[in-house]
Amino acid sequence: MNTLDHVYAYIETHREDALARLFDYLRRPSISAHGEGIAEVAEYIAGVLGGLGLSAEICPTEGWPMVFAASEQIPSRPTVLLYGHYDVQPPDPIDAWVSPPFEPTLRNGRIYARGVGDNKGQHFAQLLAIEALLAFQDELPCNVKVLLEGEEEVGSPHLAPFVSENKARLAADLVITSDGPVHESGRACIMFGVRGVAGFELRAHGARSDLHSGNWGGVAPQPVWQLVHLLSTMRSPEGRITIEGFYDDIEPIGPLEREALRRIDVSHATIKESLGVDRLDTPADRGVAERLCEWPTLTINGLHAGYGGPGMKTVLPCVASVKCDMRLVERQTVERVLERVEAHVRRHAPDVEFIRYGGMDPSRTPMESPYTEPLRAAVHHAQGEEPLLIPALGGSLPDYVFTKILGVPAFTVPYANPDEANHAPNENLEIERFFAGIRTGAAMLWHLGQTG
């Protein structure tokens, strides 16, 4: 037997103990939305990290604290930064829970508790992996740093400044996050990036107040038409975003990405069926996976003006507004894209008000990374199946703090079942996925150690 087989056997014989300790963690609320239990749980998890022999500290921020820990750093070995978050979403509505959110319960092969998938169960699995490795060797196969945030569920407002101010302390060769669900098919996966997001609002103004459309139509300016015309200059019916310079910075799709997209693609017919539609958005011929991973979007979130009540009202409204979001891909930035939208609005409708809502930059780790292969091999070894490689998540997470601020490749290797019900009542984690997570955590550190 090699070391990893011993480690897996150790994990197997310590199942009861692992579950008991996870339950102890889950019983402690740590709700970042209003602060309940945050300070206590930061102390608690710092204690767990210290118990593994890591130097652990609680780092204050202007919000809830970060918990940081590091193993002894041996220069010849690669350094892995494990990121997770110890805060959880509020459990409301409490009445919809079958068992109380902070009394972890086993049912149908699953652990039910607030935070079990998002994210306590997943990063606790990483910590148990460290413990299992240390049961067989005095040193870890690679240097490990752990960063646990207390504000992920409220949008990570202090993560970027914390990483900027602590680059030396957080210095690593790669970052691994275990959060979110595995692929919707249930297959293990490794994710290499996320799309960014940026938002804005446009407001068109007419007369001082709403007017009679018969007395003033054709005389007073019409803000609703103005907005409709402006919007029509921003995206063509063929689906091309026509804001000047919008596509300028986009990274072309590489061969490994193409191959990965081919493997995870879903047919148009399947998507049409599941959405109850007979056509998809333009351009019609583009694959679904490619749309979600590789292309930016401009979505109208809401368009508001005038009368929408029963019957007719012959009014000429004096104001119209629209809210939009854009999903961004590597190497677009929130700053540059919003500048281009603003310049476009200034050119086409100079008197329309432009309001920025900020956003989050995209993040992408190249699939050619030297760490792709050890991580792939580790997941395969620990879970017995080939993981799907996903170039990017369609949604947005603050991974850019690692790839852009810290400047290192970042990978997400999720452990939770697709129906984990995170943020919802009856959040759960399949028991076997928790143990697969511990094995995967150990295998990743072991395989990464071989690259040193």
Q: What residue ranges bind Zn ion (CB under 5 A)?
A: 118
Q: Which of 361/427 has CB closer to Zn ion?
A: 427
Rg over CA atoms, the chain? 25
For 389, the token pair is 């490689």
Spatial separation of the C-alpha atoms in residues 436 and 28, rounded to whole Å = 24
- Minimum CB separation of residue 110 from Zn ion in Å reads 18
Q: Which of 85/447 has CB closer to Zn ion?
A: 85
Question: Which residue from 331, 328, 335 is spatially nearest to 404, judged by alpha carbons?
Answer: 331
Which H helix or E strand runs over 7? helix 3-13
State the virtual CA torsion across 365, 367, 373, 374 in degrees, nearest 10.
10
Q: Which of 118/149 has CB closer to Zn ion?
A: 118
Q: How far is CA 63 from CA 38, 154, 158, 203, in A?
A: 11, 10, 7, 33
The residue with its CB nearest to Zn ion is: 118
Q: Which of 14/195 has CB closer to Zn ion?
A: 195
Per-residue burial over 413-451, b if 16 or more Cβ lie within 10 Å, else e, is bbbbbeebbbebbbbbbbbebbbbbbbbbbbbbbbbbee
Q: What angle do CA 118, 124, 129 make, to 5 degrees?
A: 135
Q: Which of 79/126 has CB closer to Zn ion?
A: 126
Q: Which of 118/151 has CB closer to Zn ion?
A: 118
- Minimum CB separation of residue 115 from Zn ion in Å reads 9
- Minimum CB separation of residue 314 from Zn ion in Å reads 48
- Minimum CB separation of residue 117 from Zn ion in Å reads 9
Is the backbone peptide bond immediately before 104 cis, with ω within 30 degrees of 0? no
- Minimum CB separation of residue 337 from Zn ion in Å reads 26
Q: Which of 118/399 has CB closer to Zn ion?
A: 118
Q: Which of 86/162 has CB closer to Zn ion?
A: 86
- Minimum CB separation of residue 89 from Zn ion in Å reads 6
**CB-CB contact of 428 with 421 (8 Å):** yes
Is the backbone peptide bond immediately before 301 cis, with ω within 30 degrees of 0? no
Can you state the angle between helices 431-450 and 372-383, rounded to 10 degrees?
Answer: 140
- Minimum CB separation of residue 399 from Zn ion in Å reads 14
- Minimum CB separation of residue 336 from Zn ion in Å reads 28
